[in-house]
Amino acid sequence: MEFLTKLDRWMPADIGAELHRFAAELYPICRSITGDGIRRTLALIGNRIPLDTANVPTGTPVFDWTVPKEWNIRDGYIKLAGSTRRSVDFQQSNLHVMNYSSPVHKTLPLSELRPHLFTVPEHPGQIPYRTSYYKEDWGFCLSHNQLLALEDGDYEVCIASTLENGYLTYGECHLPGRSNNEVLISCHVCHPSLANDNLSGIAVATFLAQLLTQGDHYYSYRFLFIPGTIGAITWLAQNREAATRIRHGLVLTCLGDKGGFHYKKSRRGDAEIDRVAQHVLSHCGETGEILEFSPYGYDERQYCSPGFNLPVGCLMRSVWGSFPEYHTSADNLDFIRPLSLAESLRVCAIIVDILEQNRRYCNRNPYCEPQLGRRNLYRSAGSEAVGTEISARLWVLNFSDGDHTLLDIAERAGLPFAVIREAAELLRQNGLLSVIPENGRET
């Protein structure tokens, strides 16, 4: 388990705290699907891993969509006319202005302002997160308590934003491996100050890329840091050739809360990544639930659109929309935990490790069982009994027929991949197995 050994060496005990610190560094930035917030975010990611940024001009057609105008914001507030005190202040929370609001500065009575105000009455202390990307509009989000505190009267509203021709920016970290076949890791970078839905995925993806830069690997890895939906559509529209090289893929999101893991399968449902994720979640020691594919959710929707049908699943802890903090100010830095982030990174690393190590072997002694006792392979940990290690050796010998991969054998034996892999390596060292070369995979 060369890769995982490296992980243990590289992963200090406080890796969770480091992941959390990185999320905290990104937290204050007001991100959106375009604009300076994304560029500042990509700059901070680029301090840690090799990152190329692409700027796609407004108006560029991308399949059925068009790259929108670029949005930037400096300030926003609501205050009672004539007052100096802001009732709602963008400087206090960037969630207060509806994301992509067009600029506005006027005075109007509360009754006319009211349709532009959004709250979550069932959680009166939380500020909701709202967007209006594809319809020019403006609005404010505030806690229901703040709304109730607004007295009747005229209000000055100001949103100092710009909505102009510019660029859609995304980041790409490409780590070449021995093979041109690629593993895609994708996360969205378009939410403002929201920790679990956005920053947890960014932090885990960044650290996973950092880990992969530590050594060589079979697959090439492509990490995408993109605005949700339009970013994935834009990347796919402009990288159709690269998309054909994707053999496995994961969308990472909501990986920092205290909930158990959820893996949403690719549209194919039986892709290797689906099986690997399922295997890892069943052996990782935490609860893990497998969800069937559905055409809503995160960017797996685009990767799994029928024209591409890429083997891309989605790994998360709590499922979007299922927790009360989702898309509100309560999805903050206290909602994500260092321990959860660290364990999420570990699960991602194990998934990558299995993809790297999953190969086929050939039994060089297929006529009846080879005599393991003579080779000192029929005992484990001082015991003659058929323990897990011996059982793994027998499974590997029996199914190393050139057809079954190590994952096939692990699934069939109900044993962790690591145990099967270790058995195969031991048997190979003893001359009982040989690796079947597959696209240079024997190395």
C-alpha to C-alpha distance for 282 and 50, rounded to whole angstroms: 33
DSSP label at residue 374: G
Would you say 11 or 26 has its CB closer to Zn ion?
26
User: Near Zn ion by CB under 5 A, which window of 166-174, 197-205, 213-221, 365-373?
Assistant: 197-205
Pick one of 70, 156, 182, 197: the residue that binds Zn ion (CB under 5 A).
197
Would you say 157 or 195 has its CB closer to Zn ion?
195
Would you say 197 or 274 has its CB closer to Zn ion?
197
Q: Measure Cα distances from 208 to 23, 40, 119, 362, 374 in Å.
A: 14, 20, 37, 32, 43
**Least CB distance from residue 310 to Zn ion, whole Å?**
21
Would you say 197 or 299 has its CB closer to Zn ion?
197
**Least CB distance from residue 187 to Zn ion, whole Å?**
11
Residues 297-316 that bind Zn ion (CB under 5 A): none
Would you say 201 or 416 has its CB closer to Zn ion?
201
Question: Residues with Cβ < 8 Å from 210, sequence gap 6 or more?
Answer: 48, 49
Question: Residues with Cβ < 8 Å from 287, sequence gap 6 or more?
Answer: 260, 261
Residue 182 as a binder of Zn ion (CB under 5 A): the answer is: no
CA angle centred on 315, ends 314 and 316, rounded to 5°: 120
User: Near Zn ion by CB under 5 A, which window of 192-200, 264-272, 398-406, 420-428?
Assistant: 192-200
Neighbours of 73 (CB within 10 A): 23
Q: Measure Cα distances from 156 to 150, 161, 345 in Å.
A: 13, 16, 46
> What DSSP letter does each residue of 92-124 carry, written as one string?
T-GGGBPBTPPPEEEEEEHHHHGGGEE--TTST
Quick check: helix, strand or coil at residue 360?
Answer: strand
**Least CB distance from residue 324 to Zn ion, whole Å?**
14
Residue in the shown chain whose Cβ atom is closest to Zn ion: 197
DSSP label at residue 237: H
Query: How far does CA 268 lie from the centroid of its chain?
Result: 19
**Least CB distance from residue 69 to Zn ion, whole Å?**
21
Q: Measure Cα distances from 214 to 177, 211, 357 in Å.
A: 12, 5, 17
Would you say 333 or 435 has its CB closer to Zn ion?
333
Q: Count residues near Zn ion (CB under 5 A).
A: 1
Would you say 199 or 271 has its CB closer to Zn ion?
199
Would you say 204 or 418 has its CB closer to Zn ion?
204
Residues 162-181 that bind Zn ion (CB under 5 A): none
**Quick one: CA torsion of 152, 156, 157, 159, rounded to 10 degrees?**
-160
Q: Are 329 and 280 in contact (CB under 8 A)?
A: no
C-alpha to C-alpha distance for 192 and 33, rounded to whole angstroms: 10
String of b and e for 149-173 (b: at least 16 CB within 10 Å)? Answer: ebeeeebbbbbebebeebbbbbbbb
Query: Strand ranges (DSSP E) for 176-245?
Result: 182-188, 220-226
Please report where in the chains the tokens 């069943």 appear, as a residue: 282
Would you say 197 or 353 has its CB closer to Zn ion?
197
User: Near Zn ion by CB under 5 A, which window of 46-54, 142-150, 189-197, 282-290?
Assistant: 189-197
C-alpha to C-alpha distance for 266 and 269, rounded to whole angstroms: 5
Would you say 68 or 370 has its CB closer to Zn ion?
68
**Least CB distance from residue 298 to Zn ion, whole Å?**
8
User: Mask 79-118, x = binds Zn ion (CB under 5 A)?
Assistant: ----------------------------------------
**Least CB distance from residue 191 to Zn ion, whole Å?**
6
> What DSSP letter does each residue of 277-324 carry, written as one string?
HHHHHHHSSS-EEEE---S-SSTHHHHTSTTT---EEEEESSPTTSST
**Least CB distance from residue 429 to Zn ion, whole Å?**
49
Would you say 156 or 299 has its CB closer to Zn ion?
299
Q: Which residues pair with 163 in a beta bridge?
A: 71
**Least CB distance from residue 193 to Zn ion, whole Å?**
12
User: Near Zn ion by CB under 5 A, which window of 30-38, 194-202, 203-211, 380-388?
Assistant: 194-202
**Least CB distance from residue 326 to Zn ion, whole Å?**
8
User: Near Zn ion by CB under 5 A, which window of 66-74, 172-180, 191-199, 418-426?
Assistant: 191-199
Would you say 98 or 280 has its CB closer to Zn ion?
98
**Least CB distance from residue 297 to Zn ion, whole Å?**
10
**Least CB distance from residue 98 to Zn ion, whole Å?**
14
**Least CB distance from residue 56 to Zn ion, whole Å?**
22
List contacts with Zn ion (CB under 5 A): 197
